Amino acid sequence: MIRKCLFPAAGYGTRFLPMTKAIPKEMLPILTKPLIQYGVEEAMNARMNTMAMITGRGKRAIADHFDISYELEHQIRGTEKEKMLADIRDIIDTCTFSYTRQAEMLGLGHAILTGETLIGNEPFAVVLADDLCICEGEGVLAQMVKLYNEYQCSIIAIEEVDPSHTNKYGIIAGEAISEGIYRVHTMVEKPAPENAPSNLAIIGRYILTPDIFEILRQTKPGKGGEIQITDALMEQAREGKVIAYRFRGKRYDCGSIDGYVQATIELYEKEKQV
């Protein structure tokens, strides 16, 4: 049973400057909910109840969001607006939140290693909240937990990208086990299209086995001088212990302006139809 979900949210979000000077990128709203709330709801949909946040300086708004606001709740009690807080109240009542800070932004792998104190020695999920995943029915993490139960190793979510965009992603190659499921052989961080082993890109959803922490401790800085999670996963892949999964659903890259605007428009259209 996977109970814990790690949210690395310490990045600077420079693509959204100046917005991200004082407000974390993970608090950008899509309609009325911040990105990180969508991530937490996806983890809950996969029956996880322990949310571990990796934050940094200037990220207090995240902790405040997942806390009770007595004054506000008192003000709107008994009014029409009360129901607007129902979802977040349910999250606060159902889940436990813990926080630790990544003091230096040394990369996603380093952010995950910083989470070891919150996770301990058990398999866990990782959500990058700026990859917003919208699915009909089961969320991506719930789909991935099923695979974890079957394979008992690290699971990474992938999608096919335009071959000219491989330099924005970790790219995998592997042996197809069944429709949309691969045993990973190779992983390359942000390869130029001519060096990419495929167009199967890793997106911001992982289930990791806890041996990843020891591997990350040994992992030297890679591309961009950062400690890369793909380099650590490659160690597990060498032993056949990484499964890549082409999930059912749609991902929006809300870390980019284009993806963020597209997500906003499409979710608005969807909501209007209800």
Does 61 bind ligand UTP (CB under 6 A)? Our answer is no
Among residues 63, 105, 176, 261, which is the contact residue for ligand UTP, using CB under 6 A? 105
Among residues 34, 39, 107, 139, which is the contact residue for ligand UTP, using CB under 6 A? 107
| Token digits of residue 151 | 């394979």
- Selected range binding ligand UTP among 74-82, 101-109, 143-151, 186-194, rule: CB under 6 A: 101-109
Nearer Cβ to ligand UTP, position 217 or 238? 217
- Give me the residue label for tokens 């999930």: 247
Among residues 2, 4, 5, 11, which is the contact residue for ligand UTP, using CB under 6 A? 11
Build a one-symbol-per-residue string for 235-264: x at contacts with ligand UTP by CB under 6 A, - elsewhere. --------------------x---------
Among residues 25, 59, 205, 241, which is the contact residue for ligand UTP, using CB under 6 A? 25
Least distance between ligand UTP and beta carbon 115 (Å):
9
Q: What HEC string does the chain produce?
A: CCCEEEEECCCCCHHHCCHHHCCCHHHCEECCEEHHHHHHHHHHHCCCCEEEEEECCCCHHHHHHCCCCHHHHHHHCCCHHHHHHHHHHHHHHHCEEEEEECCCCCCHHHHHHHCHHHHCCCCEEEECCCEEEECCCCCHHHHHHHHHHHHCCEEEEEEECCHHHHHHCEEEEEEEEECCEEEEEEEEECCCHHHCCCCEEEEEEEEECCHHHHHHHHCCCCHHHCCCHHHHHHHHHHCCCEEEEECCCEEEECCCHHHHHHHHHHHHHHHHHC
Does 23 bind ligand UTP (CB under 6 A)? Our answer is no
Least distance between ligand UTP and beta carbon 260 (Å):
11
Does 8 bind ligand UTP (CB under 6 A)? Our answer is yes
Least distance between ligand UTP and beta carbon 26 (Å):
7
Does 170 bind ligand UTP (CB under 6 A)? Our answer is no
Nearer Cβ to ligand UTP, position 168 or 270? 168
Query: How buried is 75 (Cβ within 10 angstroms: 0-12 exposed, 13-18 middle, 19+ buried)?
Result: exposed
Does 13 bind ligand UTP (CB under 6 A)? Our answer is yes
Cis peptide bond N-terminal to 18, omega within 30: yes
- Using CB positions, name the residue nearest to ligand UTP: 11
Among residues 102, 143, 154, 228, which is the contact residue for ligand UTP, using CB under 6 A? 102
Does 10 bind ligand UTP (CB under 6 A)? Our answer is yes
Residues that bind ligand UTP (CB under 6 A): 8-15, 25, 54, 102, 105-108, 110-111, 128, 130, 255
